Amino acid sequence: MEEIREEKVLYSAVQPSGSLTIGNYIGAIRNWVELQSRFTCFYAIADMHAITVRQEPALLRRRTLELAALYIACGVDPEKCTLYVQSNVPAHAELAWVLNTVTYVGEMERMTQFKDKSAKHAENVNMGLMDYPVLMAADILLYQAHLVPVGIDQRQHLEITRDIAIRFNNRYGETFRVPEAYILKEGAKITSLQDPLHKMSKSDENPNASVYLSDDKDTIMRKFKRAVTDSDNRIVASEEKPGVTNLLNIYASFKGCSVPEAEKTFEGKGYGDFKLAVGETVADALAPIQAEQKRLLADKGYLAGVLKKGAETASYTARKTLSKVFRKVGFYRGD
């Protein structure tokens, strides 16, 4: 097995549940492409996390492959990073069990995401839902990650990961690297097209609120035509105009220009022309990604090979950490 590069390790993962939005692309995937050339990156498709909410098995398998193809279509290069499916590396579940023994119930009950998901899925408040942050800690600590890209909604999970690592190290001796948050370069905050005071979400119940990377051009144009703006017809970014500001952010992000430059482009134009231009820009940018994803999905053998190689590389690194953990806690290994 070929050793991975000895440099700072960065870990990130996304669940294959639901379609990714243009917000996910701008805030995460596009950054992954840049980071893979700077760090030793482990990028996981977090299917184990996905089943904390009920999934249709066949659909979960399909979405796992679709997500792998989408990453590659967006520029994630399996030759520059380790791209793998979380459940293909058993060490994730094995380490999570050990970490459970240094994690307290009260900590898990206080997690914001547990409270939010419990409210949304009251009929299925399972232990996996509560234990989600411990599995996330295992994901990160297995690879001795230096850095974890985080958004505001994930900072609490990284903090509990750090607490668990420090607690384990104090109890059993130096074992885990305590990871740091990697603050992504400031990018546009992409919000809902229907409620611009809230972020664009892949689980939004309003079909017009989010633009998905899988949307065809007609769907994209329809959603942008229906996007919320305001009664003032000026196309400028300001706190008083969250809908217009969101559309300017989206346009600038996909056009590769600044928001002030975008404002100048639309100076004197009406909202109708503005929305059409934003929709056209997004659709034109997504078309080649969608075409490449479709091509990759037609080559199941290639995708299977990429994910198999990724799982082997991830397993090699993960087993080294897990072996150390098993020794520290006193598990008999027969050697």
CATH code of domain 9-187+300-329 = 3.40.50.620
pLDDT higher at 121 or 155: 155
The band of 153, judged by pLDDT with boundaries at 50, 70 and 90, is: low
309 catalytic residue (yes or no):
no
**Across 123-152, average pLDDT:** 88
The band of 3, judged by pLDDT with boundaries at 50, 70 and 90, is: very low
Identify the pLDDT of residue 242.
94
The residue annotated as part of the active site, out of 117, 223, 241, 275, is 117
User: Domain extents for the chain?
Assistant: 9-187+300-329, 217-294
Does the structure show a pLDDT above 70 at 49?
yes
pLDDT higher at 231 or 326: 326
120 catalytic residue (yes or no):
no
**Across 237-261, average pLDDT:** 94
Q: Which CATH class is domain 217-294?
A: mainly alpha
The band of 1, judged by pLDDT with boundaries at 50, 70 and 90, is: very low
The residue annotated as part of the active site, out of 8, 80, 189, 202, is 202
202 catalytic residue (yes or no):
yes
The band of 185, judged by pLDDT with boundaries at 50, 70 and 90, is: low
User: What confidence tens digit (pLDDT) does each residue in 278-306 have?
Assistant: 999 999 999 999 999 999 999 999 999 99
pTM of the model: 0.89
User: What confidence tens digit (pLDDT) does each residue in 59-113 have?
Assistant: 999 999 999 999 999 999 999 999 999 999 999 999 999 999 999 887 777 776 6
Instruction: Report the 3 state secondary structure along the chain.
Output: CCCCCCCCEEEEEECCCCCCEHHHHHHHHHHHHHHCCCCEEEEEECHHHHCCCCCCHHHHHHHHHHHHHHHHHHCCCCCCCEEEEHHHCCHHHHHHHHHHCCCCHHHHHCCHHHHHHHHHCHHHCCHHHHHHHHHHHHHHHHCCCCEEECCHHHHHHHHHHHHHHHHHHHHHCCCCCCCEEECCCCCCCCECCCCCCCECCCCCCCCCCCCECCCCHHHHHHHHHCCCCCCCCCCCCCCCCHHHHHHHHHHHHHHCCCHHHHHHHCCCCCHHHHHHHHHHHHHHHHHHHHHHHHHHHCCHHHHHHHHHHHHHHHHHHHHHHHHHHHHHHCCCCCC
Question: Looking at 13-27, 46-60, 246-260, which range is the least confident one?
Answer: 13-27
Identify the pLDDT of residue 233.
86
